[in-house]
Amino acid sequence: MNKLIVDNSIVDSDIFIDKDTDLTVDLQDTEKELNVYVVNGTLLKIFIKTKNTKNKVTYYIDDNSNVVINKLAIDSNDDITINMKDINSSIKYNSSIINYKNNTYTQKINHLSSDTKSRIVNHCINVEDKEFKFIVDGIINKNAVRVDFKQDNKIINLKDGKSNILPNLIVDSDDIEAEHSAYIGTFDENKKFYMMSRGLTNNESDDLLIKAFLLNDMDLSEKERDIYSAIIESINK
């Protein structure tokens, strides 16, 4: 696999991926515009950690390409657009957000072609009493058939945060499968009772539940999991 690293030194630019690539993204306090072109028949795996960002990122995915993105972000106002341009392309995008401020995280998934597949998982821990919003649009073009689109959005409020999810699904085609779901709330009290019945404190129970909530859907290497775990363990509750 080709290996690429994107950090704060990158300028607004176009990135072309024309061979199987592991891309690591590490951005902090940035407001960038990036276009990522995934050329046909390519596997792109992206491991992202960001803090306090307002980036605008657009993906263009060609035929027979597969993109897997795992992202852990602290305070993200990012605006992501994914264009599934050609047949047999797929994307699995896990966004896990730790939120301390007033933020809106926006995603738009455009299925422009037939036989395209997307799995969008957005999870957020709203730590303080601030406002957090997911806006997620799934758009299926009228010429796109046999599209498989699923999005799952969840926000857990640890305190009295104001959270909102706008899961939009605009379908202009027949012969597709689409699902979207949204949940805003707290952790299941029965789970916490069970954990505390074994002697874990409220905070220790929360720590394990938070880590599970943010990482469970991700397919990570041990090293990547350790990096994310260290960030999650620093959450100041």
- Which residues would be at the binding site for other proteins (CB under 8 A)? 190-191, 193-202, 204-205, 208-209, 211-213, 215-216
Other C-beta atoms closer than 10 Å to the C-beta of 134 total 25
Report the nearest approach of other proteins to the CB of residue 235 (Å). Answer: 16
Report the nearest approach of other proteins to the CB of residue 97 (Å). Answer: 16
E strands, the chain, in order: 2-6, 13-17, 21-28, 33-38, 43-53, 56-61, 66-76, 79-84, 90-99, 103-111, 117-126, 131-140, 147-157, 162-171, 176-185
Report the nearest approach of other proteins to the CB of residue 167 (Å). Answer: 21
Report the nearest approach of other proteins to the CB of residue 208 (Å). Answer: 5
* Residues in the chain, total: 237
Residue whose CB is less far from other proteins, 26 or 207? 207
Which residue is associated with the tokens 């991926």?
17
- In 3-state terms, what secondary structure has residue 56? strand
Report the nearest approach of other proteins to the CB of residue 69 (Å). Answer: 19
Residue whose CB is less far from other proteins, 31 or 188? 188
Rounded distance between C-alpha atoms, residue 223 and residue 217, angstroms: 16
Question: What is the Cα gyration radius of the chain?
Answer: 18
Residue whose CB is less far from other proteins, 70 or 110? 70
Report the nearest approach of other proteins to the CB of residue 228 (Å). Answer: 13
Residue whose CB is less far from other proteins, 59 or 187? 187
Residue whose CB is less far from other proteins, 137 or 207? 207
Measure the CA dihedral 88/6/166/164, to 10°: 150
Output 3-12 pairs: Cβ under 8 A, ≥24 positions apart. Answer: 6/34, 10/34
Residue whose CB is less far from other proteins, 170 or 212? 212
